[in-house]
Amino acid sequence: MKLEMKDAPGQLVAALKPISEVGGNIIAVIHQRDPGSDDDTLSVQIVLELQKGRLGDLVTLLKKQGVHIQRIGEERLLYRRTVILIGHLMHTDLSDTVDRIDSTGFAEVSELSMSMPAINERSSSRLTIKSVTKDDMEMAISILRSVASEKGLLLIEPLEEIV
């Protein structure tokens, strides 16, 4: 879900509480304040799991809290694989590496965590890729192998089977 709410203390909690009230499970919350903005609203993206039939109840509760729902989407990427990249990830433009997967339209990097010990040392990153089909996942991993080779990165894969 993508939500818009007042940029005021307590508003994020007010938006998250209804999710637990309908039995939802919050997977991730993406919220970044722009201190230079004159706007008194902020956007929050929430990834959640929700039992079928509970979405209407959640929408009603969110509206009662004064939260504007900008977008609701369902999971379309059903296959998942986690890999590790090691190398000078920032110096080789990690966003470009992610964009090469995301721009396919059939796969995307859904999770990314990174460790950077020092500016001149190699860093490591754990990427989780999701895709529409099993074949799409194989193509996405193939793209990642090619990018890793091109940029001199070590790719360790998979950490699990395609599920």
Return the CATH number at 67.
Answer: 3.30.70.260
Same domain, 98 and 130: yes
Residue 146 lies in a domain: yes
Residue found under tokens 């007042």: 6
Indicate whether 35 pLDDT > 80. no
Using CA atoms in the order 63, 55, 11, 38, what is the torsion angle rounded to 10 degrees?
-70
Strand partners for 3: 44, 69
Same domain, 83 and 143: yes
Indicate whether 5 pLDDT > 60. yes
Average predicted confidence (pLDDT) for the chain: 85
Residue 16 lies in a domain: yes
pLDDT digits (tens, 9 = 90+) for 101-141: 988 878 889 899 999 888 888 999 999 998 877 888 999 99
Spatial neighbors of 135 by CB under 8 A, at least 6 apart, are: none
Same domain, 125 and 145: yes
- Expressed as residue numbers, the domain containing 19 is 2-71
Same domain, 84 and 149: yes
Residue found under tokens 């990097």: 109
Which of residues 71, 89, 121 is at a domain's end?
A: 71
Residue 161 lies in a domain: no
Which of residues 36, 71, 106 is at a domain's end?
A: 71
Residue 105 lies in a domain: yes
Indicate whether 85 pLDDT > 80. yes
Same domain, 105 and 52: no
Mean pLDDT for 47-66 is: 87
Same domain, 67 and 86: no
The answer to whether residues 151 and 100 touch, using CB atoms and an 8 Å cutoff, is: no
pLDDT at site 78: 67
Q: How many CA atoms lie within 13 A of 150 on its CB side?
A: 12
- Which tokens is 157 given? 């894969």
Which of residues 21, 41, 71 is at a domain's end?
A: 71
Same domain, 60 and 90: no
Same domain, 46 and 83: no
Residue 148 lies in a domain: yes
pLDDT at site 76: 60
Indicate whether 74 pLDDT > 60. yes
Count of structural domains, the chain: 2
pLDDT at site 72: 82
